[in-house]
Amino acid sequence: MRDHITTLTDIALPSLVLNSPLMDNSDLDRLLSVGVDAHCRERSGSFVQVDHQVLHAGAAEPGLEVLSTPEALKRYDWLKDYWWQIVPAGKDEFTKYAQDHTHNGYFIRALPGAKINYPLQACLYLAREGLTQCVHNIVIVEEGAELNIITGCASGTKAKSGAHIGISEFYVRKGAKLNFTMIHSWAEDVEVRPRTGTVVEEGGTFISNYICTHPVRLLQMYPVSYLRGEGAVARYQSILVAPPGSKMDVGSRVVLDAPATKSEIITRTVTTGGKIISRGHPVGQVPGVKAHLECRGLMLAPQGLIHAIPELEARAEGVELSHEAAVGKIAHEEIEYLMARGLSEEDAVSTIVRGFLNVDIPGLPPALRDEIDRAVSATREQGA
């Protein structure tokens, strides 16, 4: 098994990417913008897929496996028991389509007790114009293991239109921890439909961070976590910025199905002219579970739409579910307050938007901090 795991010390993504006929320098820049470190520094492993083809899959830390899913299915007979188990194949027309049209995707597994130091990076990239990319990903964090994954999904400068359907099934075992950060950077005419399901066992923690600040024709996803073991935790944090012409329909659902499970769903949305539907839906199935939903939206343009649809569903006595939602424009009191401290009106607005989007995401690469800053500057131009 060991011999299949490539070490990353001598792998530099630029050569891999640039050797691919599909990619050029501008594609490399796009990869960097979604958090991919080209030299794999401070990364425990990398997975790069361009269109249908896997360019690279390898782990650099012991206790970690990174493979393409077809290869993993060949290697592990048991993996078929994980396949289409959390996301049902017949869920909708897109999962049905993906059943017959899937090319690759990643298989990532942290072995029992492995505490993986550095984040693992995975990138699914759409390079060819008009392509529909279908991937099926499996992540397994075995008992007591800890893993931090940063995935960047992006389309290249040549792919103005296309589609991405990503099936992802995550298994967080007893006492394990998965911190999953996904950054999307698509194009004006790309349609994106991730289908993600997570099962968290006893004492496990799943943290999902999602950031999309770029134009996309349609982004539609409603990932769901099933907290099946006592004390399991799921936390979703999403940042959405919709420029004119974009539509984002994004939610998070958590089914609290065991005693003492907890969940928090936090969403920050900003429109500079695009449409955002922001959903959230914790379902309390057993007594005493707790969940909180927080959805805040900022309208920075006269046109555009933010439609917050929070749902709370309690199915047992003593379930504690709460939500707070607030959608509006920036309060003039806040702008005047900062102006009284010496900031111009424009800088005051930027400072407030930056603070608004300042959800604390641990391990967020500096490039992404820059990306959020870039989005703030862009909202300033678009919102003006």
Partner 1 sequence: MLVLENFNVTLDGKHILHNINLTIKAGETHVLFGPNGHGKSTLLNAIMGLPRYRVSGRCCFKGQDITSLSVDERARLGIGLMFQRPPTIRGLSLRNILKICARNDIDIDTLASQLKLRTFLERDVNDGFSGGELKRSELLQLLTQQPDLALIDEPESGVDLENIGLIGSALNLLLEKEKPRYQGSDCQLKHSRHKAGLIITHTGHILNFVEADVGHVLYEGRLACTGHPREILAFIQQKGYSECVRCLV
| Contact residues for partner 1, defined by CB under 8 A | 296, 331-334, 336-345, 348, 351-352, 354-359
Helix (H, G, I), strand (E, B), or coil: what is residue 176?
A: coil
Of residues 89 and 331, the one with the C-beta less far from partner 1: 331
Report how far residue 218's alpha carbon sits from residue 191's, in angstroms, rounded to the nearest whole number: 5
158 C-beta neighbours (distance < 10 Å), count: 15
Dihedral Cα 136, 38, 219, 178, nearest 10 deg: 60
97 C-beta neighbours (distance < 10 Å), count: 15
Helices and strands per DSSP (H, E), number in the chain: 7, 21
Q: Least distance in Å: CB of 1 to partner 1?
A: 45
Q: Least distance in Å: CB of 355 to partner 1?
A: 3
Q: Least distance in Å: CB of 314 to partner 1?
A: 28
Report how far residue 356's alpha carbon sits from residue 39's, in angstroms, rounded to the nearest whole number: 32
Of residues 318 and 328, the one with the C-beta less far from partner 1: 328
Of residues 22 and 338, the one with the C-beta less far from partner 1: 338
Of residues 126 and 357, the one with the C-beta less far from partner 1: 357
Of residues 130 and 328, the one with the C-beta less far from partner 1: 328
Sequence-ordered list of residues with C-beta below 8 angstroms from that of 332, at least 6 positions apart, any chain: none
Q: Least distance in Å: CB of 132 to partner 1?
A: 38
Dihedral Cα 124, 127, 132, 133, nearest 10 deg: -20
Residue 240 sits at φ, ψ, to 5 deg, of -125, 130
Report how far residue 303's alpha carbon sits from residue 291's, in angstroms, rounded to the nearest whole number: 33
Of residues 34 and 372, the one with the C-beta less far from partner 1: 372
Q: Least distance in Å: CB of 340 to partner 1?
A: 5
Q: Identify which of 291, 324, 292, 330 has the alpha carbon closest to the alpha carbon of residue 308.
A: 324
Of residues 24 and 334, the one with the C-beta less far from partner 1: 334
Q: Least distance in Å: CB of 331 to partner 1?
A: 6
Q: Least distance in Å: CB of 291 to partner 1?
A: 21
Q: Least distance in Å: CB of 183 to partner 1?
A: 19
Q: Dig out the tokens for 369 from the structure.
A: 């901090």
Cα 367 from chain centroid (whole Å): 16
Q: In Å, how far are 104, 136, 151 from 66, measured between CA atoms? A: 13, 14, 13
Nearest 5°: CA angle at 19, between 13 and 22? Answer: 100
Give 383's DSSP letter. Answer: H
Which element (helix H / strand E) includes 254? strand 247-256
Report how far residue 200's alpha carbon sits from residue 174's, in angstroms, rounded to the nearest whole number: 8
Of residues 268 and 279, the one with the C-beta less far from partner 1: 268
Q: Least distance in Å: CB of 272 to partner 1?
A: 18
